[in-house]
Structure 1
Amino acid sequence: MNKDQVKGVAEKVKGKVSETVGRATGDRKQEVKGDAQQAAGETRKKAGDVKEAVKDTTRKPV
């Protein structure tokens, strides 16, 4: 795992918490903010996945 994967997962967790709090309190703005954080986290994680895949590919002997 690289730092982008870790930070992406952390951002997704923060987003899920924000979304849940928003739903529980009826705060639509908080809920939408949580959804956006989750999307940003997923994007960052996928970028990390790509970096990891490239790194793994370049390491393997041919």
Structure 2
Amino acid sequence: MSGDEKTKAHVEQAKGKVKEAMGRMAGNERMTADGHADQAKGNVRQAKEDVKDTFRRH
């Protein structure tokens, strides 16, 4: 996984976790959903890079 993409994935995941937690504390369902979506984007980015790494090794 390239360092830049790996960093972006981790930042998106962390940002999503914080946003989701803040939304839950504030009782804001939209913020909670946005946080969950940000985490999902980070997970997809990481999975995409993992697939690329797998093909590079073979």
For the superposition of Structure 1 and Structure 2, which TM-score range results when normalised by the shorter chain? Answer: 0.7 to 0.9
Tell me, yes or no, if structure 1 residue 46 matches structure 2 residue 47: yes
So what's the TM-score if we normalise by structure 1?
Answer: 0.81
- The size of the alignment, in residue pairs, is 57
Structure 1: runs of 5+ lacking an equivalent: 58-62
TM-score by length of 2: 0.86
User: Which stretches of structure 1, 4 residues or longer, exceed 4 Å deviation after superposition?
Assistant: none
Q: Which runs of 5+ in 2 are unaligned?
A: none
- Cα RMSD over matched residues? 1.1
- Larger Rg: 1 or 2? 1
